[in-house]
Chain A
Amino acid sequence: AQTVTQSQPEMSVQEAETVTLSCTYDTSENNYYLFWYKQPPSRQMILVIRQEAYKQQNATENRFSVNFQKAAKSFSLKISDSQLGDTAMYFCAFMGNTNAGKSTFGDGTTLTVKP
């Protein structure tokens, strides 16, 4: 079974600075997909960024980028130029290529951006 671990329950960052959220996972699959979701106080799940394991290149979406280290099974999220609206819970999630679209989530990291 897959597991996803987020070792940072809470993080804070000053507005305009950069912060990195950590995520590690465990799987025996070779092809899979990784995601970061943002959950603001409204509790809606918003996809931030995704990475396909067979792609070497790290995914980037505007101020959000990942550092995907497949051998280390690590998938960290870097948020550049942090904004107050980035304050939210962030979940790392794993989806295998062989199951029925089931996502396995980490415990989440609460990020607070301070003015």
Chain B
Amino acid sequence: EPEVTQTPSHQVTQMGQEVILRCVPISNHLYFYWYRQILGQKVEFLVSFYNNEISEKSEIFDDQFSVERPDGSNFTLKIRSTKLEDSAMYFCASSERQLAKNIQYFGAGTRLSVL
């Protein structure tokens, strides 16, 4: 069964550094998403992406964050100048179509630890 792949599974970085979280969505999917889950808290929407541009972003997704689809397969989340409070699990998801009858498939997540 096709799946969303996220790398690395765990990323440790120093405060102030930049990190890039990588995702390979399911190959025929067109819509891509990033969510964040701070330990012990709910999953929060960050951004959705379609046709090489952001469709919607949350208040969390400020100028510190950016997304990119650099080639035909990868979908990346860049966090500039990381802060301690950026420590969280980051989930990538993809769907074939925007409407929910096409399910969002989640990756296994990248645990980001900012020291």
Contact = CB atoms under 8 A, between A and B. Distances in A.
B100 A50 contact: yes
B98 A100 contact: yes
Interface residues of B, number: 30
Interface residues on A, range: 20 to 34
B89 A52 contact: no
A42 B108 contact: yes
B50 interface: yes
A100 B43 contact: no
A100 B103 contact: no
Contacts of B56: 99-102
Interface in B41-94: 41-45, 48, 50, 55-56, 58, 89, 91, 93
Contact of B99 (A97, A102, A106, A108): A97
> Chain B at the A interface: mostly helix, strand, loop or mixed?
strand
Given A91-B42, A102-B45, A107-B42, A44 B98 contact: no
A100 B33 CA distance: 10
A112 B63 CA distance: 40
B54 to A, nearest CB: 9
A104 interface: yes
A101 B16 CA distance: 31
B45 A103 contact: yes
B109 A105 contact: no
A95 interface: yes
A44 B104 contact: no
Given A99-B56, A100-B55, A105-B42, A43 B100 contact: no
Given A42-B108, A45-B43, A47-B105, 18 more contacts: A32-B100, A33-B100, A43-B89, A43-B109, A45-B93, A45-B109, A46-B106, A47-B106, A50-B103, A52-B101, A91-B42, A100-B31, A100-B48, A102-B33, A103-B35, A104-B45, A105-B42, A106-B42
